[in-house]
Structure 1
Amino acid sequence: MNLSNWGRWGKEDEIGALNFISPEKIVEAARLIQKGKVYSLTMPIHMNQTPYDGSMRMPPFHVLTRDGGDYAAGAKKPGGFQFSDGYVFLNTHGATHMDALSHVWYDQQLYNGYSEDSVKSKGAKHCGIEKVKGITTRAVLLDLPTFKGVEHLEGGEVITPEMLDECAASQGIKVKPGDMVFIRTGWLKMLDKDPQLFEHSEPGIGEACVQWIYEKEIIGIATDNLAVEVKPEERKDAVLPVHMKALRDLGVYFMELFNFEELAKDQVYECMFVAAPLSITGAVGSPINPLAIV
């Protein structure tokens, strides 16, 4: 079965599954706020600790162009005014981030049939991250390590639709249309234990989950690993097949390197989810600071 959302929201649509979020869905999410507690699900952006794929991405670099040392060396203080300033050089898919629908494709077409020729060195004409003005919806956390009674899933372990459904049932929650799905694998703990293993292997969803994603009508999946999907891939001839089918065919958003440890500790299995990418014209992804509010 060829699963696709192309044309579902019109031939000019560029936001995909975000169309599942209605005003009523946002109100539903807001009603989940009972304690007024906010969880940040991001990882700090640190030059020497932020994970990245060294084969194709550079680590982040942060530098101050004006600091206290400048004044100690004699920099002028007009009217007594002193300040600091700086720059951050960061890959759009470095640290906690979300993918734009222009991030991956196949057969020379992006989501909804836009041509790959529209993605140039200065940015993507269609489906760039600036098309995502912000996300507010209900999110559910599927805490797989707790469900399975382990510290973390293993590298290369395939997460199946059955596993997701059974985990949700055990937590007493139901995945609904328009939801954001958080999948905790516990793999983030491997970042300190074995950084090489963390970057080159991971538990993640398998190709069978594409049907699950389509039927649930969710807007996206966020995980505590580098790629959402399992690595190494299930098929030797496939490279990130779940990315291609989810983003390109369904218009569903993938978000990586989330920190779910506090949510899991407090057993927060549903919450209001708020996130917004940087509005970088034509960017194919963006760092975000995702918030869970209960």
Structure 2
Amino acid sequence: MAKRWKVRPDHANWGDFGEDDQVGRLNLITPERRRLAAQEVKEGIAFCLSLPLDLPGGNLLVPLRLPPTRHVAPRKCGHHFVNFPMRLENECWTDFSCDDAVTIYTQYSTQWDALSHVGQAFDADQDGEAELVYYNGYRGGVDILGPEQAGGPGAVHLGIEKMAETCVQGRGVMVDAFARYGAERKFIGYDDLMRIMDEDGVEVEEGDMFCLHTGWTHAVAARQGNPDVALLHHAYSVLDGSDEKLLQWIEDSGISVLIADNFAVEGFQQQGRGGEGSFPALPIHRRCLVELGIHLGELWHLTPLNDWLRAHKRSRFLLTAPPLRLPGSFGSPATPVATV
């Protein structure tokens, strides 16, 4: 079939959008789908769905990811580029300028996972040896490069800029898990999700951008940069990646992206909820990013929007959420905007 692989994983859609596709199910957000999304704008009210990008604060969530660090340009004529004098008139400085730079971990706060974020060992060549493959059969070491390789580190293919080029605008659909489970650490499976959607009258159609509200990010923001381990890792709802029915629903639903206001969308598990062993650490990441080309949005600030939608008995809205057009990056901060 495609040049990069002879067989694809059982649940993969590799090749369905073309053998060189790099945006996956974002292909389902067609011009017609955008027109339908625009019809959800009835009040003209906009919501910012991003945390301040220095939250959650510290590095208890992921030790290797650190808050942004701000820098200013070196001195020029004795001045840093903060309140820097730009124009002299009648021997008085009348105009000033500020300029800065930021070192930022792309997945520290509100963010998108690129399709190059997660790969899988799979025998795509049918030669008896598993290769490191990413969505649509792109290869680790060839298309995804480490710092020790020429041109690396970065994604030659599947970089976050490919997502940005689609503009990422369509119809968002909100599912409110917090209203059912509050701050309880709940692994949400297929039956739980269908119950919530049925009770709230939530419908999901092909191309929709699925958003799960758990309340986690709202609680993190309230800590003002000082969260603890109990909140970060042991509270609020997460999707249950061990539930095969849930994985199958994600595949069959036609959603274009999967977004949550928690860390990682799904909960980390050493084994399945039923006790089975040999279990992937992040099966939803594997199914979405590697097999289906569904980008994941994490740590979004959904509570204000969710509360408004719930008060007005709505679940749909226009969502505009492009990442940074940063070539080769494995993820990106985001400042999504919802309009109702």
Q: Distance in 2 between matches of 1:281 and 1:224?
A: 26
Q: Is contact 2:59-2:66 (8 Å) kept?
A: no
2:135 equivalent to 1:111: yes
Compute the displacement of 1:211 (Å): 0.8
Which residue matches 2:177? 144
CA RMSD of aligned residues (A): 2.6
Pairs within 5 Å for 1:1-294: 2-46=10-54, 49=57, 53-65=61-73, 76-79=85-88, 80=93, 81-107=95-121, 108-117=132-141, 118-120=143-145, 121=147, 122-132=153-163, 133=165, 134-146=167-179, 148=180, 150-154=181-185, 157-191=186-220, 192=223, 194-201=227-234, 203-207=237-241, 208=243, 209-232=246-269, 234-235=271-272, 237-266=279-308, 267=310, 268-294=314-340
Q: Is contact 1:182-1:221 (8 Å) kept?
A: yes
Compute the displacement of 1:56 (Å): 2.0
Count of residues in correspondence between the two structures: 288
Q: Is contact 2:84-2:96 (8 Å) kept?
A: no
Q: Which runs of 5+ in 2 are unaligned?
A: 1-8, 122-131, 148-152
Compute the displacement of 1:64 (Å): 4.1
Select the structure of larger CA radius of gyration: 2
TM-score, length-scaled by structure 2: 0.78
* SS at structure 2 position matched to 1:49: coil
Q: Is contact 1:104-1:110 (8 Å) kept?
A: yes
Q: Is contact 1:224-1:256 (8 Å) kept?
A: yes
TM-score, length-scaled by structure 1: 0.89
Of stretches 170-179 and 185-194 in structure 1, the one that deviates more from structure 2 is 185-194
Q: Is contact 1:25-1:138 (8 Å) kept?
A: yes
Of stretches 159-168 and 29-38 in structure 1, the one that deviates more from structure 2 is 159-168
Q: Is contact 1:153-1:187 (8 Å) kept?
A: no
Compute the displacement of 1:171 (Å): 1.8
Structure 1 residues 197, 231: CA separation in 2 closer, same or farther (over 3 Å shift)?
farther
Amino acid at match of 1:206: D
The superposition leaves residues 30-76 of structure 1 with CA deviations (integer Å, 9 ceiling, x where unpaired) of: 01111001011100122783766442222211244489xx58x9965
* SS at structure 1 position matched to 2:107: coil
Q: Is contact 2:58-2:66 (8 Å) kept?
A: no
* SS at structure 2 position matched to 1:19: helix
The superposition leaves residues 110-146 of structure 1 with CA deviations (integer Å, 9 ceiling, x where unpaired) of: 0000111121133101111011112111111100121
Q: Distance in 2 between matches of 1:293 and 1:190?
A: 23
Percent identical: 29
Amino acid at match of 1:115: R
Compute the displacement of 1:95 (Å): 1.0
Q: Higher helix share goes to which structure?
A: 1
* SS at structure 2 position matched to 1:116: coil
Q: Distance in 2 between matches of 1:178 and 1:3?
A: 18
Structure 1 residues 74, 56: CA separation in 2 closer, same or farther (over 3 Å shift)?
closer
Compute the displacement of 1:10 (Å): 1.1
Q: Which runs of 5+ in 1 are unaligned?
A: none
Q: Is contact 1:16-1:250 (8 Å) kept?
A: yes
The superposition leaves residues 247-290 of structure 1 with CA deviations (integer Å, 9 ceiling, x where unpaired) of: 10010111001111112221251101101111111101100111
Q: Distance in 2 between matches of 1:200 and 1:238?
A: 18
Q: Is contact 1:263-1:269 (8 Å) kept?
A: no
* SS at structure 1 position matched to 2:329: coil
Structure 1 residues 74, 201: CA separation in 2 closer, same or farther (over 3 Å shift)?
closer
